[in-house]
Amino acid sequence: MKNNHMKDQTKPSYLQGNIDNWTEHSEAQKSSILRRWEMEPCWGMWKAPDKGLDLLPSEMTGLYALEIGCGTGYVSSWMARKGANVTGIDPTAVQIETARDMSEKHNLKINFLEAYGENLPFEDASFDFVISEYGSSLWSDPYLWLPEASRVIRKGGKLVFLTNSIFFTLTCPDLEDGGPPGYELLRPYQGIHKVKWPDTPEETEFHLTHGKWIELLNSKGFRIDALHELSALPNANGSYDIVTKEWASKYPAEEIWVCTRI
């Protein structure tokens, strides 16, 4: 894989705040997150098994796969175990360090690089499969990272990304101690894009209306194959820390877009 594509692009203004946030919080989340390195592929806060969703191709031998915003790298590890040539990128140095340590511990060869989704250091059409699980899908401006994803995926290749659902984002209280999402719409749907939370002003998330996701994906050469809206699994134990099982049985807390580059 060549590494000489670097556009003359200034870093997005929100990027450093998100890196600072992840540098500060990565340690606290590490022990629970690292358990996923030992698990079979599963998705989202309710750990929905990949079987049935089939987000990862059953056979990945020889495929070039990229994870954008790989964090600690467990999704990359699942793809490497299926035989893919995997690259994982993340702008937060401590996350990349953890991912490298884990791949060494598990004896997996994965190329973990410090980079960000809005300016991918890869040639056009370098990858067969690109995934973002709460990476650029949540922390990068979609109007910047989706054109990059489109550029680096070969025609016929796949893009999969998972993020908070729009229902979650509209009903989540402003402050963390305001509790989990309830049944009232707390912010406007139309025009939603950059979202800030008052108790963590350094971080910036991005969300779009479903109409705007569809418009943007289509305009960047993607066909949308599926939109999975993940609710609590019926046998889920208790509640996840940021959402109750009762709420998440009625509304999806997370959404996964599956697309083909055409």
Return residues touching ligand SAM (CB under 6 A).
15, 18, 22, 33, 68-75, 90-92, 95, 116-118, 133-136, 139-140
Question: For residue 63, which phi and psi values (nearest 5 degrees)?
Answer: -80, 145
Residue with tokens 């899908």: 137
Q: How far is the CB of 21 from ligand SAM (least distance, A)?
A: 8
CB of 56 to ligand SAM, least distance (A): 13
25 vs 223, which CB is nearer to ligand SAM?
A: 25
Q: 38 or 156, CB closer to ligand SAM?
A: 38
Which of 14, 247 has the CB closer to ligand SAM? 14
Q: Please identify, using beta-carbon distances, which residue of 41 and 91 lies nearer to ligand SAM.
A: 91
Minimal distance, residue 86 CB to ligand SAM, in Å: 13
The minimum distance between CB 127 and ligand SAM, in angstroms, equals: 15
* Spatial distance between the Cα atoms of 113 and 28, rounded to a whole number of angstroms: 22
